[in-house]
Structure 1
Amino acid sequence: MSPAASSSSSSKQAMGPTKIILPDLVSHCNFPLRHSRHRKQITSETKRWLFKGANLIGRARDKFHGLKAGLLTSMCYPDAAYPQLRLCNDFLTYLFHLDNLSDDMDNRGTRSVANVVLNSLYHPRSYQSPERIGKMTRDYYRRMILTASPGAQRRFIETFDFFFQSVTQQALDRASGVIPDLESYIALRRDTSGCKPCWALIEYANNLDIPDEVMDHPAVRSLGEAANDLVTWSNDIFSYNVEQSKGDTHNMIPVVMHQEGLDLQSAVEFVGDMCKQSIDRFVEEQRYLPSWGPKIDRDLAIYIDGLANWIVGSLHWSFDSERYFGKDGRQVKSTRVVNLLPRRR
């Protein structure tokens, strides 16, 4: 071998892998995929709501269109009436754009944003904040409380509070370069995902009024946790490429590589197996639900179906959205090959 060839070979090894193969999660998920007929209408109305009072052009506008939040909402809440579906889409879009929406605040730290958002939720009629994020929070929540049950309202606020507490911890970990152990990461990620308030919106979207003792039952909580794990862990797989290009280590794949001593592809497969197990767990644990009588059982079945909609809807949306794979989502969905982006300098 010539010196030039040897140098080239060692250079390639130093570069590390150039691609990953995604696990086939879509084929492992057998839940029916449905869409709401209101998708186009909510997309245009939410766009008007999001951009109101802000001169969002160019990249911000492209980011909104590429996100395709209306598609995700229509698949996750397919049976919701238009007013409820519109609010769900407002919230999901707002959640994805939370960083951008808080740019106008004096202190852009997570605690400052949390203070404005949570005060707007806990005191929607008395708390007044001039920041855009506060106005938007009050607007969608005032619409929500018109029809949401007291339990759904409480669960929505409490879980959104947990979300802000966990993203604050996540920001501290990032700043200090901490890679948590897998168990700690899973516990934190269940809140940083933002899934839990979305589960409360399943109740709201379907006009459910399920008693607290039912929603707090271990079997029901376990189903919500399994759905959260699938949505969250699969998101870590799909978002890994973009995140690694920015040097972000708050992702399950680097956590697994660090703890288990695995190479990149093996870690992707490890997390993929965990995702498949979470789907299996969701199916299996429905067998252990007790009965609370015909009315509650019927409402609970609708809620659990809503969790299943989130599982299947989020998987398909991840390839339709441009958030993770740009314009190549359909190709990636077919081949499962992801070419790794170079690290930003």
Structure 2
Amino acid sequence: MNSHYETAKVAAEQWLNSYDIDNIEKVKKAQFPLLAAVGHCTADAKRLYVLANYYQWVFIYDDYFDNGKWSKSPEDARHAADLTINVLRDPETFTKTSFLPADMLRSFMLDIRETATERCQQRLVKHFQNFINAAVEQVINRSKDIDLSINSYTKLRRETGALSSVLDLIQYGLNLDVPDEVLHNSTMKKLALYINDICCWANDIYSFNIEQAWGETHNLVIVAIREGRSVQESIDFVGDRVKERFNAYVSEKEKIPSWGSKTDQDIATYLAAVEQWAIGFLHWSFATERYFGKSHEEVKKTRVVTLLPRKKA
């Protein structure tokens, strides 16, 4: 746990209160500053505040496209995405819009410009754009009732999960700036892919109940059910894939080449933080009410989930 958690939590909540957010109490109950604190244990106070705001923003943005106003209209989703991308590219000259998450992102990006390296900023803009465009693709698929295969779903999920941005922000929290040529190494790229799949697929298990209740289909468990498996078989199927990815990560980590003592130490620090983030994310998933409501502690203890009824459209 980051020692600056309480301070960052208060500041991040004040930031949240400065916007007219629907269901703001629901957002607060999700405890996104806690995710920042357990995922970025060594970040300084300023960076932890910025990171807490990122998690608040990204989940709010994601909800707009999952079950909000923009969840069923590709045209509206594209318009909202374009507004958001404009903020990424030029937050200084951005003017207020009708899309709240774009306004919120401006504040975050201005903080990033003050505290992040140029390379970190460039990576974030690239990976944010991938996430934003993938969210639009998800809306298009929903509007056309397109059922993705496991392979096509997996490819899209690697972007809708926003994990590439998280990996950038892990470096940001550490005040590290690993060179591009290191991150583009085949082994490092595989490690990033594996940790992405581990976290996104585990999240699909945790979020399955609320998503099936909403009629959402962008979830690996639901894709597995569509292929003819029962609910429990599908949960087990996804769980087994998470274990496979974990083993692949451990094996691939042994193949990391050397780039010299300084870079090697930076990589070791970075990967240790990546692993800590993944562990923190899993623990946070049972500390928040986002996935299991007030039963989150009981679910963590028993691993038994009662399926919610489908909500009326």
Indicate whether the TM-score tops 0.5.
yes
Query: Which is higher, the Rg of structure 1 or of structure 2?
Result: 1
Distance 2:190 2:253 in 1: 9
Q: Is the 8 A contact 1:144 1:204 kept in 2?
A: no
1:49 aligns with 2:15: yes
Distance 1:310 1:175 in 2: 34
The CA RMSD over aligned residues, in Å, is: 2.1
Distance 2:240 2:69 in 1: 42
Aligned length: 306
Which amino acid letter does the alignment assign opposite residue 289 of structure 1? Answer: I
Q: Is the 8 A contact 2:62 2:135 kept in 1?
A: no
Which residue number in structure 2 is paired with residue 86 of structure 1?
49
C-alpha spacing 1:139/1:74, structure 2 compared with 1 (3 Å): same
In the TM superposition, what is the alpha-carbon distance from 1:147 to its structure 2 partner? Answer: 3.0
Distance 2:44 2:191 in 1: 25
In the TM superposition, what is the alpha-carbon distance from 1:104 to its structure 2 partner? Answer: 10
TM-score (norm 2): 0.92
1:69 aligns with 2:69: no
In the TM superposition, what is the alpha-carbon distance from 1:138 to its structure 2 partner? Answer: 2.1
Distance 2:102 2:211 in 1: 29
Which residue number in structure 2 is paired with residue 3 of structure 1?
none
How many percent identity over aligned positions? 32
Which residue number in structure 2 is paired with residue 224 of structure 1?
192
Distance 1:152 1:113 in 2: 24
After superposition, where does 1:139-288 map in structure 2 within 5 Å?
139-259=107-227, 261-288=228-255
Distance 1:136 1:247 in 2: 28
Q: Is the 8 A contact 1:224 1:307 kept in 2?
A: no
In the TM superposition, what is the alpha-carbon distance from 1:111 to its structure 2 partner? Answer: 1.6
Give the helix-richer structure, 1 or 2: 2
For the residue of structure 2 that corresponds to 1:97, the secondary structure is helix
1:312 aligns with 2:275: no
Distance 2:131 2:172 in 1: 19
C-alpha spacing 1:53/1:178, structure 2 compared with 1 (3 Å): closer
For the residue of structure 1 that corresponds to 2:92, the secondary structure is coil
Distance 2:64 2:12 in 1: 14
State the structure with bigger RCO (CA 8 A, min sep 6), 1 or 2. Answer: 1
Gaps of 5+ in 2: none
In the TM superposition, what is the alpha-carbon distance from 1:244 to its structure 2 partner? Answer: 0.9
Listed one character per residue, the Cα deviations across residues 7-29 of structure 1 (whole Å, up to 9, x for unaligned) are xxxxxxxxxxxxxxxxxxxxxxx
Q: Is the 8 A contact 1:210 1:300 kept in 2?
A: yes
Distance 2:237 2:63 in 1: 33
Q: Is the 8 A contact 2:81 2:136 kept in 1?
A: no
In the TM superposition, what is the alpha-carbon distance from 1:53 to its structure 2 partner? Answer: 4.0
Distance 2:153 2:57 in 1: 25
Gaps of 5+ in 1: 1-34
